[in-house]
Structure 1
């Protein structure tokens, strides 16, 4: 199938479904109203609770939920064929992921910006709070450690990206000062900041920074330490100092990256390059891969539906949305934008990579040979470097067809991936601090009310996980097999809470979240059970124990949710914030 046609059909579908299904859910199901109070105004503190224009908070929310998730998942799952991957991205994002993100955002906004753990305790019962926290904490811990490693790997593979990624931090802080302290126009100055950042990208091409071995510590280990220190500092600063301005820059960077890839698709299609999808349509049994069902729905999380998104919705975004009606654009719209990115990832790894790939031994592969170099087996496809490289090289090939030098295109895409991963990393650290504070809020232990202490604990635990296997910082990879299931069961649990909430509002509105909750819950529990057997065969006590813990916790919360669901009717008060 022609890659351009697939892209255009998908893009058109996202726009239509946002206007039809998204607006229907916002108006008819959740009854959005600009007159409703919002936490950012009622609890404004200038640090975490800050009323923000929807364009800026959209930038923060999208760059936080995206990271490398919508890139890595599709880049792996295409091994089962581009057709099932695209169907899941398209249907999943519209009917499940966007409902999940938007629902979590609204419930949090109507409950003082509280986390999904607190919300679940309220709408189901207080017993679920600790169990839900276990899933949330594991999810955030792995994300913080893994995304630090992702950036370290990108820095190691694409040294031209190092300088612009780090220089984006001071550029963003200057932007924040101009906007919030000097009253500068946000759009004008953010575009100027974006131009400055791209100037650093060009400089980075000519001044790449390659981290050397320091003693016995590999480059990835050193970068991971520096990134964890950065995460601590960034996640304790007021959101207007770094988080918002940097994410506004990144939202523009997203537009540029998407535009370059789209233009590249058209350029490659109408040039002699002939951009065609070379990946198989369906490949049910790739060498060494787990079964497509249920693992397709676990491998592609971000881009279709991801539990982490609910943590962003209820962690930072709900504290910054200034008008309830903006929640549809921010929550539902961001998810469909992420699906747009994942669609382009499919084009890059299923078609773009076929335009040319240089191997380590100097050979240049094209067509199916280039694709097979990354997807000859499950082992080849799932390596972290392979995932990132498949997308970066595929996208760079398409951008090169538009006339941009290949070296610059590689740097642009490397910076794009690393910048988004950095946003996700420090947002996850900030949310983990919120979660720790909330968990101990009703106990005699008050030390976690101090943001520096709570953040230090979160960063320290992530560092322990990252370096549990040695100085390379790759220790979190030991828990990476658990992440997909933890992430998706979290999404199913949040959808369960949204379903109980909607049941209390009367009618059959609960079906919009109830059906996705059942589907995703069944698929994820199925995958957890398969994984348990694999971990037993490998003799991994750690993975067996944590996997079993997630299974027990999930069944417990779902069971409590079902009991509450059948006891709830339209006469049950939802006790939203007035």
Structure 2
């Protein structure tokens, strides 16, 4: 199968799925009512609940859920062959991920924009709410650490991406101000995107020498370069996440959504022009042992937790229920945002796979030699840089086939990855703030919760807890590697991120399933993916726990065991409710 055929058929499949299965879910399962009042219109506090145009919400939603998940995951997973990775992305995104995102968005909109974790207390029982909250806190904790490390790694590997990424901040603030003053969205978008690409063009033409200057943080002792970048990013994300959502997050994510469309368009055009041959193995059940002597994990179950974003991702339920449900003006936009954004992410993951299995063979090393350089051995423990490089280089090779210079293409893709990771970092911090505040005071008012709990529940206190804990996890390898190398082993967090993320997806699907059962609506659409995700995630967590025990990694072992216990507990609680409900129905008959 040629790369051109893969891209065209994938696009057609997603288009058909949106207009068939998506429409079925909207009309027959969730019964969307365009006239129903949404939480954004009911509350409209100007901070988190803001009625917005669906294009703005789509941009914010998509860039928040995408991040680098659909890039790093597929870039690792193709080591098991391109066929399993592609099949999982196509099937998973349509039958599981889109249902998960759409369902989480709808039930949150029907309950005043409450988060899926908070809703589990009403849908199942209060104990499940507390257990779900713990899973969410741990999941977001890992997201903050790993996405901070991803951006820091990009800044280190591709320093020309630094200025364009930070230049997006004033550009986005200016766009937001323009739109709030009633300015034309078309004119504002054209100017903002034009300025963004001007910074990329300017930065790509600069020669980067040495390790000082505006491209790098101040070089101090005691911490690695990646560690300093991560610290700077955490300071930035603290500021960004306490601002009203329409000041920075919405306009910057809207700009990034245009960046995504343009980048994906360039990649598709590159594939159509270059028609690069596939240089990767179709299926490889057991990759070679890594240079560090670590054996590759088995394809089953690790393929399904390595590719999370792009197929199905629990983080999406938090964005759907914690952010996007509070911004939609009408339920009629829910399919476009919830279902459509997930399919778009699936198509992005498809392009990532093509870049890694074909585009990588168009550079200095061509054909199979390029593939073997990155994928001959298991490299899941080789660091984030080793996994980001195949995508960025492969994408730049394909874009270069249409006449764009290599320097510009590499800078463009570096900015693309870092910008998307930054939007996820922003949204994850804001979501973690919500959850920490909910855990601190529950449904009490802050003045009744006591001074310490009120301080933690405060917008600034909760955000401080979120960013400090995320930074400490990001440099948690310091006791072994030393502070001067802290963060360099960031990819060791990816398996536990994937497992926790997929567990969160399974639990969100469980809440959606129980809600559908109680509402007497077709529950199979979420029940089938729920059962699959619960089984595959449990298997993966058990294997991960064994590996962490063998390597004496007490922190990740503790997280794995806790996740497994919480999963079993929540499933038992939910199963008891569903079966008791069915028993009551039989008695009433």
Tell me, in whole angstroms, the C-alpha distance in 2 between the residues paired with 1:541 and 1:150. Answer: 23
Residue number in structure 2 paired with 1:575: none
Aligned residues: 558
Secondary structure of 2:281's aligned partner: coil
Shift of 1:456: 1.1
1:232 is aligned to 238
Once residues 131 and 286 of structure 2 are traced to their aligned partners in structure 1, the CA distance between those partners, rounded to angstroms, is 36
Residue aligning to 1:244: 250
Q: Deviations over 1:102-144 (max 9, x none)?
A: 1011111111111111111110100011211111011111111
Displacement after TM superposition at 1:34 (Å):
1.2
1:506–1:569 CA contact under 8 A, matched in 2: no
- Contact 2:205–2:408 (CA<8 Å) still a contact in 1? no
1:10-49 → structure 2 map (5 Å cutoff): 10-49=10-49
Q: Deviations over 1:40-62 (max 9, x none)?
A: 01010111100011111000000
Q: TM-score, normalised by structure 1?
A: 0.94
Q: Which runs of 5+ in 1 are unaligned?
A: 270-274, 357-363, 573-578
Q: What displacement does 1:188 show?
A: 2.2
- CA displacement at 1:563 relative to structure 2: 1.2
Q: Tell whether 2:506 aligns with 1:492.
A: yes
Residue in structure 1 matched with residue 431 of structure 2 by the alignment: 431
Higher mean C-alpha deviation, range 20-29 or range 543-552: 543-552
- What SS does the corresponding residue of 1:365 show, helix, strand or coil? coil
- Quick one: distance in 1 between partners of 2:117 and 2:464? 21
Question: Closer, same or farther in 2 for the Cα pair 1:175/1:62, shift >3 Å?
Answer: same
Partner of residue 474, structure 2: 466
* 2:123–2:515 contact (8 Å) kept in structure 1: yes
Say if 1:370 and 1:126 are closer, same or farther in 2 by CA, change over 3 A. Answer: same
* Corresponding residue of 1:483: 497
2:282 counterpart of 1:281: yes
TM-score, scaled relative to structure 2: 0.92
Tell me which residue corresponds to 1:411: 411
Map 1:520-559 onto structure 2 (within 5 A): 520-559=533-572
Kindly state the Cα deviation for residue 13 of structure 1 after the two structures are TM-superposed. 0.2
Measured in 2, the distance between the counterparts of 1:205 and 1:12 equals: 35
Aligned positions of 1:42-61 closer than 5 A? 42-61=42-61
* Aligned partners of 2:280 and 2:371 also within 8 Å: yes
Alpha-carbon distance between aligned partners in 2 of 1:307 and 1:84, rounded to the nearest angstrom: 21
1:472 deviates by 4.6
Given candidates 499, 507, 513, the residue that maps to 2:526 is 513
Residue 345, structure 1, aligned to residue 344, structure 2:
no
Out of 321, 329, 332, the residue aligned to residue 339 of structure 2 is: 332
Give 1:569 shift. Answer: 5.4
Contact 1:263/1:402 (8 A) holds in 2: yes
Query: Contact (CA 8 Å) 2:64, 2:427: kept in 1 or not?
Result: yes
CA distance in structure 2 between the partners assigned to 1:318 and 1:365 by the alignment:
47
Match of 1:214 among 220, 234, 240: 220
Query: Is 1:175–1:193's contact at 8 Å kept on the other side of the alignment?
Result: yes
Matched ranges for 1:302-321 at <5 A: 302-321=309-328
Cα RMSD for the two superposed structures: 1.6
Matches within 5 A, 1:394-405: 394-405=394-405
The answer to whether the Cα contact below 8 Å between 1:164 and 1:201 also exists between their aligned partners in 2 is yes
* Residue in structure 1 matched with residue 189 of structure 2 by the alignment: 190
Distance 2:344 2:584 in 1: 37
Distance 1:218 1:162 in 2: 17
Q: Residues 419, 531 of structure 1: CA spacing in aligned structure 2 closer, same or farther, 3 A cutoff? A: same
Q: Pick from 244, 251, 271: which aligns with 1:265?
A: 271
| Contact 1:504–1:570, Cα closer than 8 Å, also in 2 | no
Q: In structure 1, what is the Cα distance between the partners aligned to 2:7 and 2:223?
A: 43
SS at match of 1:301: coil
**Take 1:381 and 1:268, find their aligned partners in 2: how far apart are those partners?**
32
Give the C-alpha shift of residue 174 in structure 1.
0.5
Report SS of the residue matched to 2:20: helix
Aligned to 1:83: 83
Distance 1:240 1:568 in 2: 43
Tell me which residue corresponds to 2:203: 204
What are structure 2's unaligned runs of at least 5 residues? Answer: 209-213, 289-294
Output the CA distance in 1 between the equivalents of 2:273 and 2:256.
25
**Counterparts of 2:4 and 2:313 in 1: how far apart (Å)?**
27
Q: Is the 8 A contact 2:279 2:358 kept in 1?
A: yes
Q: Which stretch of the first structure deviates more once superposed, 457-466 or 381-390?
A: 381-390
